[in-house]
Structure 1
């Protein structure tokens, strides 16, 4: 192996374990050492347990030695977002107001990875309650973007995005309710897959909430899905299990019909460099034989305003139940955003909740004529690390999620794959959206884009002295 062990893909590791060229223990040690070297800068992890990781790696090594691996992910290092329960590990949910207690059981995604023999090298950080597209947290140190550590990795799967870009092993598990996998994937230049609602069982389930893989390659995301999509009765919103051939990624795009969405209908103005990168991707699909047609906005200001009312009230009720000393520990930006919830009427909250159905129906109808839809992930590239959002304004908290939010509410699969770089060298994500439940199709189109796009830049190297001099 010529590439550093921490940077090898999950598919490469499985082949190396099978041949005996590498062992899970040596790979785990290399990943842990790399994490230790980068964490003083990136602050992407929480509850790293070297002893646990090495114990899991040793058990995996024995299984491979006897030709009895649990799965193709046996011995593969993974990180899990800290809001995905793993037994024995507290979940601060990114918030200093959380009362810490050890989780009694693995949540479904963690259970599937443990059953598959994956090695848990760390949990990754998130902002307060997952309510920000940022690495800013009242509990964790400020997470930073490996491409430029003055900038934000995005969120709420902040640590997962940074960890994937920095090479903390090949597989990272995030969650997404409005863009929380795809936004950090876009700003960190990695693959971030939001599957159809219920494709990966999760606990607790909630409208729009999914778990999904964040990786450096589409093949690794598909490999993860082969394990994560297995059934779990604890998620009453989960889909019936299906025999999906997740590794069948090669697909001819000729004759497929793509919609191109460049106007979200509301939110931040689209950065011209982002628009150009997404338009170039559409032209590449067209040159490969696909039919590409522009489509207009599929969501409205009224829809997002309604969701804002509903989410503020939900958070206000949680916040109001806390004693004052705990309320004071919540991130000030979040407190300011929540505060308006106390003045909302029952009618406003009900009408706000009804916008979930309106947004779902609109998104499904707009996408139905097409096999897939292409769009930006975010209107802009990465923003300053210290900000809670690109605008940093709690009165306008969702302007940057206009391209991602609809597909959570519509339950459609969507993925972020790097489309290129802006003039400053920052990644730009291309979003590919499929019809409900066509998860494999979205992965296939993402794989097709990997083959169509220009050569990518090398993965970033974290410079500790440079960051310390800017502190």
Structure 2
């Protein structure tokens, strides 16, 4: 019974809660038991509050019993990435430099989930200040992939992805400033959506329009359900678009017939693994069979890398500008190198990078005049060894060199998702589906089509690859 509960969707949990067949208390106990089983291998959490989880689950159970649930996520366990504030819990963001003092308020997305009755019991691991596309750092050590614990789950939402993939929670939150939802979704074999900038209210930060709030799930419909909650308004974000009241579950199974879809295996970056590209074909075939017109295009976005490097470096340098010498020395060595290299970025250079970002956005807006959606591999390689920043320092000197298909759409502010579409040598791969601004519904419909065609029902084995003795840096 417990194992069955661990793999229920959020929607199925709510259905059973409503019928009285299941209690949020039962789900939370199964969740905690499974977490204690798998987390020693995964190292996916940085905070555990079982007492709060049990209290929230009991309150939810009483609401369901009295016929007054707060919504379809009431009683559903949700893991929270430790880049967001949860009132009463510290927000460390993977850093020794952040004080372990309780936050006084919820991040907007967390506030919406709390209002919906979600059960919070843990925070998930992230690299320091979310600065890279993998999940390890000085504070929390190395987070591992449920499909092969010798490999990384990706990042920076790696702890969230690992818990979803391992069957601990049906939903986990994430943030995406350069691919940080989609990278771990692809490496860990789960679904992740980066909404358009402004769709989900958030606290504005140094990364400007690059970063958005979102989440990960084991199926597309659960992410649509979560988006219904996250998009509700919050007056603390003056940059959020007006609330539109969209039900993202509406039309989810309407298909893609008549859609014009572009396919680029590399976006002009010569890094794609041929086996990964070949692994996209069943998903592409499924979209064609469903009535979409899919055409391969020669879309070259490789000129945008310098833009990303300038903005990324300046943003992270701003995060640590008030640190003293001891705090700087304690940083992740890669992050320290990044912020040191960014010290000489001038205001003129930064403004030029923002101008280039706007040109790129305009280019993609014109592109989508011809195509409803764009397909790429999410990541051009499979998950590599845990604990390193790059699988090959010569071929990929920096993390953004092996993730060139995700971060362009942070620069353009477009919505993009990673949907599981198969395996290469036993490791998950994901198809990235990108749309013009505010086209989340079309992306979800196409993702659902791929999911229905490519889902295997496979579950990860934590024994694969073995667990190294030392799990700290």
Bin of the TM-score, shorter chain as denominator length:
over 0.9
Aligned twin of 1:38: 38
Count of residues paired in the alignment: 467
After TM superposition, the structure 1 = structure 2 runs for residues 328-367 of structure 1, keeping only pairs within 5 Å, are: 328-367=329-368
State the distance in 1 between where 2:122 and 2:106 align.
Answer: 14
Aligned twin of 1:79: 79
Q: CA deviation at 1:5?
A: 1.2
Alignment partner of 1:10 is 2:13:
no
Aligned twin of 2:53: 53
Q: CA deviation at 1:392?
A: 4.9
Instruction: Select the residue among 200, 208, 212 that pairs with 2:214.
Output: 212
In the TM superposition, what whole-angstrom CA distance separates every residue of 1:88-139 from its partner, at most 9, and x where no partner exists?
1111111222233321101110000100001012111100110110111121
Aligned twin of 1:406: 408
**SS of residue in 2 equivalent to 1:207:** helix
Q: CA deviation at 1:47?
A: 1.5
In the TM superposition, what whole-angstrom CA distance separates every residue of 1:156-194 from its partner, at most 9, and x where no partner exists?
111011111011211111000110000000000000011
Q: CA deviation at 1:367?
A: 2.7
Instruction: Judge conservation of contact 1:251–1:445 (CA < 8 Å) in 2.
Output: no
Aligned twin of 2:149: 149
Instruction: Judge conservation of contact 1:373–1:434 (CA < 8 Å) in 2.
Output: yes
Instruction: Judge conservation of contact 2:193–2:215 (CA < 8 Å) in 1.
Output: yes
Unpaired runs of 5+ residues, structure 1, are none
State the distance in 2 between where 1:14 and 1:222 align.
Answer: 15
**SS of residue in 2 equivalent to 1:47:** strand
State the distance in 2 between where 1:459 and 1:368 align.
Answer: 39
Aligned alpha-carbon RMSD (Å): 1.9
State the distance in 1 between where 2:17 and 2:167 align.
Answer: 19
Which is further off, 360-369 or 442-451? 360-369
After TM superposition, the structure 1 = structure 2 runs for residues 64-103 of structure 1, keeping only pairs within 5 Å, are: 64-103=64-103
Q: CA deviation at 1:298?
A: 4.1
Q: CA deviation at 1:437?
A: 0.5
Instruction: Judge conservation of contact 2:209–2:411 (CA < 8 Å) in 1.
Output: yes
Q: CA deviation at 1:464?
A: 9.8
Q: CA deviation at 1:254?
A: 2.0
Q: CA deviation at 1:438?
A: 1.4
Q: CA deviation at 1:18?
A: 0.7
Alignment partner of 1:432 is 2:433:
yes
**SS of residue in 2 equivalent to 1:64:** helix
Instruction: Judge conservation of contact 2:199–2:241 (CA < 8 Å) in 1.
Output: yes
State the distance in 2 between where 1:443 and 1:91 align.
Answer: 31
Instruction: Select the residue among 254, 260, 263 that pairs with 1:260.
Output: 263
**Alpha carbons of 1:395 and 1:344: their partners in 2 closer, same or farther (altered >3 Å)?**
farther
State the distance in 2 between where 1:252 and 1:142 align.
Answer: 40
State the distance in 1 between where 2:415 and 2:28 align.
Answer: 32
Instruction: Judge conservation of contact 1:41–1:464 (CA < 8 Å) in 2.
Output: no
**SS of residue in 2 equivalent to 1:305:** helix
State the distance in 2 between where 1:135 and 1:294 align.
Answer: 33
Q: CA deviation at 1:465?
A: 11
Please, what TM-score do these two structures have when normalized by structure 1? 0.95
Q: CA deviation at 1:272?
A: 0.7
Instruction: Judge conservation of contact 2:145–2:151 (CA < 8 Å) in 1.
Output: yes
Aligned twin of 1:167: 167
Aligned twin of 1:313: 314
Please, what TM-score do these two structures have when normalized by structure 2? 0.94
State the distance in 2 between where 1:109 and 1:265 align.
Answer: 35
Aligned twin of 1:203: 203
